[in-house]
């Protein structure tokens, strides 16, 4: 029956959406966009972090710098004093909250007495299907971003600018940051105008499930393989 097929499709879509919005997902998916004029070599990969006035003396900034530094180190970058650095690395980050409305069908039982009475999810009465009612539910969606901008210290020339963005039901930026940092620098350096989707397995000891309070910084999920699409 067409109605039955439509019902099964709707329920499958709802189940997929629920899984995507729940904390049980096994992957964190991040979109990465890069602009590049990179021509550096390993010998010149010395850098220092630069901070905006609002980022000065910020423990949050320091925490995120540790994460980014860990990933830069795996790509032959070496952190040095600013006066000795070939590059300056600046970070920008934030979270935006949106609301997703989901409308789903709910079937009620036949109003007729008999074997169909009291079966609220049974779409069938004694004479055929009854029309569905619809219920709307709202879910918060949190979009986290991390931007990494690399410039030459001597000239101020921008040589690499990458933005990583992911969204889900995790409200904490600090828990999302290990995945953003790891994804932003995956396959460095990307070509100019490159757009990638990076999938990282959820690490129970880092990121989404990491308890950052009391620790120097959330651990980066570096041991997990990166899937770049």
Query: The CATH number of the domain where 196 resides is what?
Result: 3.30.160.670
Band of residue 74 on the pLDDT scale cut at 50, 70, 90: very high
Residue 28, domain member (yes or no): yes
Residue 127, domain member (yes or no): yes
Ranking 26-30, 65-69, 120-124 by mean pLDDT, the lowest is: 120-124
Residue 135, domain member (yes or no): yes
Residue 104, domain member (yes or no): yes
Residue 160, domain member (yes or no): yes
Q: Residue 152: which domain range?
A: 2-201
Average pLDDT over residues 101-123: 58
d(CA 183, CA 177): 10
| Higher per-residue confidence, 154 vs 227 | 154
- 87-106 pLDDT, tens per residue? 999 999 999 988 777 777 77
Residue 216, domain member (yes or no): no
| Higher per-residue confidence, 224 vs 37 | 37
Residue 124 pLDDT = 53
Average pLDDT over residues 17-42: 76
Residue 5 has pLDDT above 70, yes or no: no
Residue 139 pLDDT = 81
Count how many domains the chain has.
1
């Amino acid at each position: 029956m067409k109605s039955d097929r439509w019902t099964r499709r709707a329920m499958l879509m709802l189940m997929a959406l629920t899984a995507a919005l729940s904390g049980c997902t096994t992957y964190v998916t991040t979109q990465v966009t890069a602009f590049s004029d990179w021509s550096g070599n390993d010998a010149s990969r010395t850098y220092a972090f630069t901070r905006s006035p609002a980022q000065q003396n910020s423990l949050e900034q320091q925490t995120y710098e540790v994460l980014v530094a860990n990933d830069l180190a795996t790509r032959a970058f070496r952190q040095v004093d600013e006066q000795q650095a070939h590059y300056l690395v600046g970070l920008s980050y934030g979270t935006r909250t949106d609301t997703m409305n989901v409308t789903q069908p709910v079937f009620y039982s036949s109003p007729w007495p008999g074997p169909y009475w009291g079966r609220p999810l049974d779409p069938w009465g004694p004479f055929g299907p009854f029309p569905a009612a619809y219920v709307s539910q709202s879910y918060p969606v949190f979009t986290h971003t991390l931007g990494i901008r690399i410039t030459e210290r001597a000239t101020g020339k921008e040589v690499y600018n990458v933005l990583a963005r992911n969204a889900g039901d995790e409200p904490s930026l600090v828990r999302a940051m290990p995945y953003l940092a790891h994804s932003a620098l995956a396959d460095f350096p990307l070509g100019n105008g490159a757009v990638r989707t990076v999938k990282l397995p959820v690490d129970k000891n880092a990121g989404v499930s990491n308890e950052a309070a009391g620790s120097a910084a959330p651990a980066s999920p570096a041991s997990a393989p990166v899937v770049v699409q």
